[in-house]
Amino acid sequence: MIHHQGNQLIAPVVLLVAFTLSLACSAKRPSALPGVGGTPPSAAEPSSATASLNSALRDSKVKLVFLSFCNGAMKGDEDRKREFTGFLKDPSVGSAVQAICVDPDDPREEALVKQLGVDPKIPYPVTIAIAPPGKIMSSFRNYPTPQDIRNLLSACSSGGCGPSG
């Protein structure tokens, strides 16, 4: 597991929520996403993943958003993926966690992929955990385990995620 702390993304009024990411974690991370804070996105309209992310980050019930970068060409642990997606349906998680799948090869997702430093050629899925208002909490090669999710939710409950904890 690769941890990123202290990196802030500025959550726009209309822009970000995602799921499991195929990410080659780079040290360089931009501070704002395209289309946030009045900067026009590179495409005519935000990608569906970007729009979903923005919506989730504005939802007061959401404590964590998982952006998963994956596609059919990537070789991930299918059991871990089933465990991850199954746990997200658990009533104990409720609406506190959202997941968004991003295809790093989709040209509409290019700005989001670049902004988060994802290598679209990486052969495995990567998931990035983001807390409102856009703080990167952690990233995972493959998918997080239920215990990873519980640990992140616990950190949020103790005030470690966003302005409202």
Map out the domains of the chain with their CATH numbers: 36-157 (3.40.30.10)
Three-state SS at 156:
helix
- Report the predicted TM-score, pTM, of the whole model to 2 decimal places: 0.69
Band of pLDDT at residue 43, cut at 50, 70 and 90: very low
Three-state SS at 16:
coil
**Structure confidence by residue, pLDDT tens digits, 93-117:** 888 999 999 999 889 899 999 999 9
